[in-house]
Structure 1
Amino acid sequence: MKHDRLEKRKSGSHALDIFRDDETWVYDSSIDHRGRVPRRASTGVWKASLFIITIEFSERLSWFGLSTNLISYLTGVLHQEIKTAAKTVNFWSGVTTLIPLIGGFLADAYTGRFGMVMVSSFIYLTGLSLLTMSQFVPSLKPCDTTPCRLPPRKLHEVVLFVALYCISLGTGGHKPCLQSFGADQFDDDHPVERIKKMSYFNWWNFATCCGLLLGVTAIVYVQDFLGWGVAVLGLTIFMAFTVVTFFMGKSCYRYRLPEGSPMIPLLQVFVAAIRKRKLAHPSNPALLFEVPKSQAHGRQLLHTNRLRFLDKAAIIEENESTSCLQQKHNPWRLTTLTRVEEVKLLFNMIPIWITSIPFGLCVAQAPTFFVKQAATMNLNITDNFKIPPAAINSLAAIAMLISVAVYDKVLVPVLRKINGNERGMTILQRIGVGMVFSTASMTAAALAETKRLGVHNPKSLSVLWLAPQYIILGFGDGFTLVGLQEYFYDEVPDNMRSIGIALYLSVIGTGSFISSFLIMAVDGITGKAGKSWFGKDLRSSRLDNFYWLLAAVNAVNFFAHVWVSIRYTYKNVERRRVVPDNVSECSSSDQLMP
């Protein structure tokens, strides 16, 4: 008995040492700027994330300041027709939100997130500098008079679009890496940091909305009343300042080393499963091959019952010794259970990605047709104060700011007490709520457009008639956009998190491309039927019918999302925890709280 108590005391003392060590150092495969294990007190968490959020604020300020009012520039300075300008903006937005797939892959495989952010910042600044030159250098200006009533110089158009697509390339490195790099500053296995990480995504979007709000108000106001040159020059200087600030915080960051192409291990799973297709599944999933935790690079995943054919890639054949396999094995013949589950994760995400695209369709309308609607209406808020058309987007930003703050500070604490979910509601439930708002937003837009078409002089109608569609869409963004960011960061394999954020962005990009295709398809079909829904201007168009079509698509898609969500299985991670209350080290094998 005395001997047992002594052994128990020694075991407790050892566990306490482990806990203290875990509180001092961060053992999540990250390193500090000198390549060592990071100290928990001096690296990561909010002290590091604030540097990262600062450069994101600057990038979003530039992006929304340019993209929101670009359609006005294309129609007013380059003299493009409204449907041509809308397709141009949609195509540019689509490219900008799909390039992150390449940037995310390169960051995860080769450069690391910090390196990719620095390279893309240089490219982004190059684009802003070219844009500034196109407004100040005489030979690059659209024309010699202001306002420009003549066809613009071809050289100006070339420089303009080169600048815009340089910004697209810069965004392609920023967007997948900045947000995931910020999330990397929180340790998933540390209970306090894990809770902070859940708030991180909300406050990241709060900062993004602040950039959006200033972009569609202050920057757009400067563009319309002081000139595009002044606005772009200011954006260039501010971006340069925040890039320097981001670099200065490098000693506070936790870094993840690139692990080579994440696609090769996934391909190995398919090859190994096909090779062993004739083998029977083991009676117990515990018989599937997995390396010991001491040899594992990163977190291990637990077995799930979906896509069981892929399990065959981890079956140990009769002539193979487990002890020998742990030392060396052919990954094209035998893969670990974790690798198999990572492939399952990617397949599991495809239906969610598809059902998210109609929301991207709705988002694509805000910087295009919504702005042109506003331009035809009375922009006077008071007798002495007139706003630029694109400034009405500020209502969406304010609504998103409110929804994110209320969700994080009010809804989540209440829902945690009700259902015990540390997120408040599951990620897919949050996305679904936003889809309801997007459907309501398109309905409000259709009703507002019907009202606008019904008056003889749209200038007699206040632009505030568009407020409901912007506000409702902003509330939807606070649920769906933030939810998609969390989902694609958390649910992808750990070594593909930059690609995960890029997948979220691809939803918006694909929505923009489909919006362009839909405009062309509807224009062709309705044109053959008699009168196209898209005329040379809004007076001769029927945007109300187009909005009703989008509302119907989103309503049907919502039920598809619910059906997919009910059948969804969340990422199942085996966590290592250190619990101070009973002073013991334990290994958790439960599913990540969705």
Structure 2
Amino acid sequence: MADVKVQVTGGKEEKMLKGGMKTTPFIFANEISEKLAVVGFAANMITYLTMELHMPLVKAATTLTNFSGAASLTPLFGAFLADAYIGRFWTIAGASFIYTIGMLILTVSAIVPQLRPQPYREATTYQLGVFYVSLLLTAIGAGGIRSCVVAFGAEQFEEGGDGRTGSMRDKKSKTWTFFNWYYFCMGASILLAVTVIVYIQDNIGWGVGLGIPTAAMAISVVSFVAGHKMYRMMDPNESPFTRLIQVIVAAIKKRNVPVIDGGRDLYENDELDKDISVFGKLLHTDQLKFLDKAAVVTEEESEWKGLKPNLWRLSTVHRVEELKSVIRMGPIWAAGILVITASAQQFTFSLQQARTMDRHITNRSTFQIPPGSMSVFTILAMLVTIAVYDRCLIPLARHFTGLPRGISFLYRMGIGFTISILATFVSGVMEVKRRHSATSPSAMTVPISVFWLVPQYSLHGIAEAFTSIGHLEFFYDQSPESMRSTAAALFWMSISMGNYVSSFVVSTVHHLSTGPDQSNWLPNNLNKGKLEYLYWIITVLQVFNLAYYCVCAYFYTYKPVARPRPEDVELAE
């Protein structure tokens, strides 16, 4: 790992320590620009699809959630590249460039008349093709950025990355603070996107509204690369996926070999594992004992002493525990999916609710709030919650729990799940009030203020501050150290699955609720539908999900790590 560089100046060795706070502006600039670009479009994408490309509402909603799902699935590929081949720095840099190209094509498609449909006609196959290519490139770019930027930023603070000596507690505290402020900066960029960028798109034009985040993305690429001499960079090792498969194969081959209770005499090789256990070797656990067979030394393999083993037949305890850690994380990972499904409705049906309501700030005001800007209340609630949590709740909770992060990430996620249930239930109640306020089913504008939607948007923001950051902390802390890009990819994969589940639920409800007269709960005119039923279905699903999560959290076993001696870390550096 290259985080300490030694220069010889005037016959004296001068250590130039890398990492620390000085690197955060460059890292945050890249993340802010990416969020400015993706949210600046995604927050108003339902408007672009329905008003500019003339898609039906349900098709536009599923297109949006499918795109969000794809953009959150590509981090798996980005994580594989980063961990196994090119490292996190070059993955982020290359992905940012690809993202910029995708945004450039999207901006051009919004400007050139031939790439936009005629009035009152749906887009042609060619026009949709150009649009989808731009989305594909941004999804690929997002995969490289999202899988690496969190782990890359957090490792700037690990093990004294800022060059100061300090306790492990202090270093961990800095890492958890980084997570909070990473999410805060991300939220601030989203706030800018859903206000300024969305307003420009609705009132000046899509060319300018997309061109600004495109330019910001291009500048961030230059900024991020310019800071490369200051970063701590972990060299890529062998593919973590290969190691996991090797353990499975070795365990299957030895399925008939007995394992001694307590894991005694299982294979250990510190030299073999040194590059993937720099900051601590995983200790043996009694769970998933079948996998321990991969580390049992047979009579034939005992003759390999001093030689590198065939890893498809014999794995070390550390590598077996890597796989166990990933498997143990699975149930907690799955619990986060439905929260994303609930949150996804803000950018589809909640936005359409806002479009039908009185969006004037006051009775005398001529200014109307763009529907896509309603998510500003989600972001404000999230930012306030993060700030209060980081500055007030963490120090208070730390006094009682002794944990650097205040409360465990499992408790934090559980709080978020509970608030998300309340947010979705309130969304259904507000839809009933909105529809009953309509003067007629065909009315374009309902005489009720759009500010009635503020509670549901705000509750989703508070839930996200607890759930998403807790989820991110969980993946980073509980994943093996050599798989942290993969862990970040798992976080985004849960978002991907949440969006796909949203598409499935919406499509299923739309299909099953369609009557003989073709009426359904989710028509283009919400005044003629039953949108609240969709919200309440998701509410009930989340109640069952919370019960499932509580069981998983109760039985969850934290990964056991043997911390190395400080001198060992210095040698590794």
TM-score (norm 2): 0.90
Contact 2:438 2:446 in 1 (8 A): no
Contact 2:434 2:446 in 1 (8 A): no
Partner of 1:503: 490
Partner of 1:308: 289
Residues 1:172 and 2:147 aligned together: no
Residues 1:402 and 2:384 aligned together: yes
Most deviating of 464-473 and 187-196: 187-196
Q: Deviations over 1:457-478 (max 9, x none)?
A: 4531111110000000000000
Contact 1:33 1:250 in 2 (8 A): no
Contact 2:45 2:64 in 1 (8 A): yes
Alignment partners' CA distance in 1, 2:30 and 2:390: 23
Contact 2:425 2:535 in 1 (8 A): yes
Contact 2:294 2:313 in 1 (8 A): yes
Residues 1:427 and 2:409 aligned together: yes
Deviation at 1:281, TM superposition (A): 2.0
Q: 5 Å matches for 1:385-400?
A: 385-400=367-382
Amino acid at match of 1:473: H
Partner of 1:282: 260
Amino acid at match of 1:476: A
Give 2:562's match in structure 1, choosing from 574, 580, 583.
574
Partner of 2:33: 58
Most deviating of 261-270 and 83-92: 261-270
Q: Deviations over 1:219-276 (max 9, x none)?
A: 0000001111111111111111111111110011011111132222212212222233
Residues 1:234 and 2:212 aligned together: yes
Amino acid at match of 2:409: I
Flag the 1:506–1:214 CA change in 2: closer, same or farther, 3 A: same
Contact 1:32 1:251 in 2 (8 A): no
Q: Deviations over 1:77-132 (max 9, x none)?
A: 11111111101111111111111111111221112111111211111111111122
Give 1:251's match in structure 2, choosing from 220, 226, 229.
229
Alignment partners' CA distance in 1, 2:306 and 2:401: 41
Partner of 1:368: 348
Deviation at 1:320, TM superposition (A): 4.9
Amino acid at match of 2:533: N
Partner of 2:442: none
Structure 1 stretches of 5 or more lacking a match?
1-28, 579-584, 588-594
Give 2:394's match in structure 1, choosing from 412, 417, 431.
412
| SS of match in other structure, 1:461 | strand
Q: Deviations over 1:515-545 (max 9, x none)?
A: 1111111122222588421113211221101
Alignment partners' CA distance in 1, 2:146 and 2:341: 20
Q: Deviations over 1:482-536 (max 9, x none)?
A: 1111112222222221111111111111111111111111122222588421113
Q: 5 Å matches for 1:92-491?
A: 92-143=67-118, 148-149=119-120, 151-152=122-123, 155-188=126-159, 191=168, 192-292=170-270, 296-299=274-277, 300-318=281-299, 320-321=301-302, 325-382=305-362, 383-384=364-365, 385-457=367-439, 458-491=445-478
Deviation at 1:282, TM superposition (A): 2.1
Partner of 1:78: 53
**Aligned pairs, number:** 547
Flag the 1:326–1:312 CA change in 2: closer, same or farther, 3 A: farther
| SS of match in other structure, 2:182 | helix
Alignment partners' CA distance in 2, 1:40 and 1:507: 41
Alignment partners' CA distance in 2, 1:223 and 1:33: 47
Amino acid at match of 1:224: D
Most deviating of 504-513 and 451-460: 451-460
Amino acid at match of 1:103: G
Alignment partners' CA distance in 2, 1:93 and 1:308: 38
Flag the 1:295–1:111 CA change in 2: closer, same or farther, 3 A: closer
Alignment partners' CA distance in 2, 1:210 and 1:201: 14
Deviation at 1:356, TM superposition (A): 1.4
Flag the 1:295–1:341 CA change in 2: closer, same or farther, 3 A: closer
Q: 5 Å matches for 1:36-47?
A: 42-47=17-22
Deviation at 1:305, TM superposition (A): 1.2
Alignment partners' CA distance in 2, 1:85 and 1:133: 21
| SS of match in other structure, 2:255 | coil
Alignment partners' CA distance in 1, 2:541 and 2:556: 22
Alignment partners' CA distance in 2, 1:133 and 1:279: 63
| SS of match in other structure, 1:260 | coil
Deviation at 1:150, TM superposition (A): 5.0
Alignment partners' CA distance in 1, 2:70 and 2:272: 43
Alignment partners' CA distance in 2, 1:66 and 1:101: 23
Identity of aligned residues (%): 37
Flag the 1:154–1:573 CA change in 2: closer, same or farther, 3 A: same
Alignment partners' CA distance in 2, 1:557 and 1:151: 39
Q: Deviations over 1:335-365 (max 9, x none)?
A: 1100000110111111112211111111211
Alignment partners' CA distance in 2, 1:525 and 1:536: 16
Structure 2 stretches of 5 or more lacking a match?
161-166, 440-444
Contact 2:4 2:15 in 1 (8 A): no
Flag the 1:281–1:269 CA change in 2: closer, same or farther, 3 A: same
Flag the 1:399–1:455 CA change in 2: closer, same or farther, 3 A: same
Contact 2:172 2:404 in 1 (8 A): no
Flag the 1:363–1:30 CA change in 2: closer, same or farther, 3 A: farther
Contact 1:377 1:462 in 2 (8 A): yes
Deviation at 1:175, TM superposition (A): 0.7
Partner of 1:88: 63
Superposed CA RMSD in Å reads 2.4
Contact 1:103 1:116 in 2 (8 A): yes
Flag the 1:326–1:186 CA change in 2: closer, same or farther, 3 A: farther
Amino acid at match of 1:516: S
Most deviating of 438-447 and 354-363: 354-363
Amino acid at match of 1:503: L
Contact 2:147 2:488 in 1 (8 A): yes
Contact 2:3 2:17 in 1 (8 A): no
Contact 1:213 1:397 in 2 (8 A): yes
Alignment partners' CA distance in 1, 2:14 and 2:475: 28
Amino acid at match of 1:93: S
Alignment partners' CA distance in 2, 1:60 and 1:494: 26
| SS of match in other structure, 2:564 | strand
Flag the 1:317–1:524 CA change in 2: closer, same or farther, 3 A: same
